[in-house]
Structure 1
Amino acid sequence: MLGRLVKLGWLLLVLVLASVGCTRPCDRLAERTCERRGASSQECLEMKNLAGKSGDEDQAHCREALSILEAAAAEGM
């Protein structure tokens, strides 16, 4: 019983730490752009700049773009 509680505690800790990270969709989109294009690329720099200025509507658009990218990756594109 205690072992299960310890495992559950660790799982909750991991989930909390994962959610504390980069949670804004535009930041995640910028991160992906920089991974694919390179940290010093024009695309990366522009995405980081835009992510820093993005409001709620922009975040919604970035969330949609991330969904499309994830769906394409799942299909092997």
Structure 2
Amino acid sequence: MSNQRTGSSAAAVQEAIEDSGRTKRSISDETGIPYPTLNRKLAEKAEFKFSELLLIAEALGVPPWKFTPSIFTRPAAAVAA
């Protein structure tokens, strides 16, 4: 199942968890995503749902676009327009 899109989200989530100083278990508990499911998705054995990425972003206090492939993010100039 591993591909560039899955990997980029998994890597971004993993990095954000590490940067926050929190554990995967605490993110699992706060978001309601079962711990084995979170681990499987971080290992790129399954893809994150957008709803899961939103829950994780909220738990970590980061913008949700941080976890999506760059094709889903708008350049700052487009946002300001």
TM-score between both structures, scaled by the size of structure 2: 0.32
Decide which structure has greater helix share: 1
TM-score between both structures, scaled by the size of structure 1: 0.33
Say which structure, 1 or 2, has more relative contact order (CA 8 Å, 6+ apart).
2
Structure with greater Cα Rg: 1
